Amino acid sequence: MEPSSPLKAMNVSNLEELSKALIECQQIISDLPKETSWLLSQNLHKYQDFWCYPNFLEGIILAQKYFIPQPTDIIICTLPKSGTTWLKALCFTIFRRSQHSGGSSINPLLTNMPHDIVPFIEFLYCKGRDSQNPLLSTHVPYASLPESIVKCSTCKIIYMCRDPKDVFVSLWHFNNKSLDTDVLSWEEAFDKFCTGLSAGGPFWDNILGYWKASLENPEKILFLKYEDLQNDTLFYVKRIAEFMGCPFSVEEERQGIVQNIVNFCSFESLSNLEVNKRNKVGNEIPFKVENNAFFRKGKIGD
C-alpha cells in the first residue's frame, strides 16, 4: 500500500504550515549546544539531554509537536546498532504472517529493506507512512518521545538494548565503512562514546529511561535484550507476538510458523537476500547507505 502524505502522517494542515514549522526547528537547532561527531563532516546537537544529528532532530521536534499515533501503533525503540534492523524484520513478519504464508502474497522484506518498511518517526514529515502498517521506530530516549505516544493508552512500545561494547564496535564500523565521510579514529570515538557523545546517547540514560518506564507500565512497554533474543529467538518471537496482540495459535505453532519466522528473519537469511546485498536505503533514511552495511556480523561479544 502506498504511504500516506507527510501532511497527513504529521497531522499538518498544509505545506505552508509544515515549511514554517521546519524553519522554527532549524532555529531551535542552531541555538543548541553542539560537538564534533564521529563523522567529521557533521556535528551532534544536544537536545533535551541527548545527542542527535540535525537531520534526525528536525523530525523529532516536529513529531513532538504534530504526531498523533494510531490507536494500534507499535513503536520499536532502540539505540543505533542495537539490533534495530532485525527487530523490525521480526515484528513486521509476525504482524503480517497471515498475508505472507502459504504463498498468498510475497513478503515485502524480499524486495525492501526493513528500514524502508518500518519508518522512523523522525522522517514521517518527509516520507509519510502506510496507515495499514502500525509499526514505527525511533532512536530517541523515552523522555523525548512525542507526548502523544506516551499518553496514548492503546499504542505500545518495544524497546531493545544491547551490550555497550558490541554497540560501540558495530557503530564504529558502520560509520567508518558505510558513510562517505571521514570519521574519528577508534580511540577518539571510544572516548566520545564513554562520555555519552554518540547518536541517541548517553548510552545508559537511553536504556534506563525505557527500563524504568517498562517497570511502571509493563502492559505498554516490552523491554528486550539483544542477547536474550539471540540465545532463545523462538521464545522471544512468541513473547513479542503476544505483546503485539497477535499471539500464535496452537495450530500455527504445530505448523512450524514460528520457526519459519525465526529462520526467515535470521541474520544469514536477511543478509543473503538480493535487496540487502547491493541496493541502497533510499525511501526512509535521508542519506544513501548500502543495505549490506546493516548486516555486518550480528554476533554477541564481537
**266 domain-assigned:** yes
In a domain, 103, yes or no: yes
Query: What is the C-alpha separation between 22 and 60, in angstroms, rounded?
Result: 11
- 67-95 pLDDT, tens digit each: 999 999 999 999 999 999 999 999 999 99
Question: pTM of the predicted model, to two decimals?
Answer: 0.90
| Section 139-165 average pLDDT | 96
Q: In three state form, how does the secondary structure of the chain look?
A: CCCCCHHHHCCCCCHHHHHHHHHHHHHHHHCCCEEECCECCCEEEEECCEEECHHHHHHHHHHHHHCCCCCCCEEEEECCCCCHHHHHHHHHHHHCHHHHCCCCCCCHHHCCCHHHHCCEHHHHHHHCCCCCCCEEEECCCHHHCCHHHHHCCCCEEEEEECCHHHHHHHHHHHHHHHCCCCECCHHHHHHHHHCCCCCCCCHHHHHHHHHHHHHHCCCCEEEEEHHHHHHCHHHHHHHHHHHHCCCCCHHHHHCCHHHHHHHHCCHHHHHCCCHHHHCEECCCCCCCEEHHHHCCCCCCCC
Share above pLDDT 70 across residues of the chain, in percent, rounded to a whole number: 87
| Mean pLDDT, residues 214-237 taken together | 97
CB 3 within 8 A of CB 128: yes
- Among 117, 145, 142, smallest CA distance to 132 is for 117
Q: How many domains does the chain have?
A: 1
Q: Which of 199, 209, 207 is nearest to 35 (CA)?
A: 199
Rounded CA gap, 85 and 98, in Å?
21
91 in a structural domain: yes
CA nearest neighbour of 262 among 48, 94, 148: 94
Non-local (6+) Cβ contacts of 243 within 8 A are 156, 158, 222
Query: How remote is the C-alpha of 140 from its chain's centroid?
Result: 9
**Mean pLDDT along residues 285-302:** 66
Rounded mean pLDDT, 52-57: 91
Query: What CATH number is attached to the domain comprising 228?
Result: 3.40.50.300
Tell me: pLDDT of 197 over 90. yes
Residue labelled with grid coordinates 518527509: 126
Domain limits for position 205: 6-294
pLDDT for 181 beyond 70:
no
Residue 76 is assigned to a structural domain of this protein: yes
Report for 104-108, 144-148, 298-302: range of highest mean pLDDT: 144-148
pLDDT at res. 48: 97
Per-residue pLDDT band at 298 (split at 50, 70, 90): low
User: Which residues carry out catalysis?
Assistant: 139
Alpha carbon 19 to its chain centroid, in Å, reads 25
Distance from C-alpha of 165 to C-alpha of 159, rounded to nearest angstrom: 18
300 within some domain: no
Residue 248 in any domain: the answer is yes
Query: Does 53 map to a domain?
Result: yes
> Does residue 233 belong to any structural domain of this protein?
yes
